[in-house]
Structure 1
Amino acid sequence: MSDKKFTTPSGSVSNPAAAADFEGAQRFDKVLVGSLGVYYRDGFKIKYIPYSVLERAFIRVQEVNGRMCCGKAVFHYFRLVFVVGGKEWGDV
């Protein structure tokens, strides 16, 4: 197993336990859920939020009004938001 670096709310870490948990985590679309925390990719970085610092996770629904050739439409898209330290830290 290669040495993986993770970006956490408190900085960058290289944790062998988190790397093993990342490899065995269950994938839900863009998010991987392990026994130690939640993982997702943000560009070239792998973000890791340990359950001990995760305060809240919720789904944000945003509407986008669109004009198309056949009329108007409203599109909904969903984002998974993680709250750490009272601030939104992840928006997947």
Structure 2
Amino acid sequence: MKNGRSNGSPMSLMDVPLRTAVELERIDAPSDEVEPLLERGILPGCRLHRVRNSPAGDPIISVEGTLLALRRESAAQLFVREV
């Protein structure tokens, strides 16, 4: 990976380069913030990747083929590993 991390090392989704496929390992967020993510299909074990950033700099991700916009704060709480 370009940022020097090994393939097995978990990293924040915000650290993932654009268009890199990753698998969600865990969500480190308060329970009231986790439920909306789970309802949108962002579940541990799912494959996702950052497609692009919004004009405000928030990530737009693809989860199982569906595009979702996240806030940077939420994306920073998603820990992933490269697949």
Of structures 1 and 2, the larger Rg is shown by: 1
- Report the TM-score when normalising by structure 2: 0.33
- Report the TM-score when normalising by structure 1: 0.31
Higher relative contact order (CA 8 A, sep 6+): 2
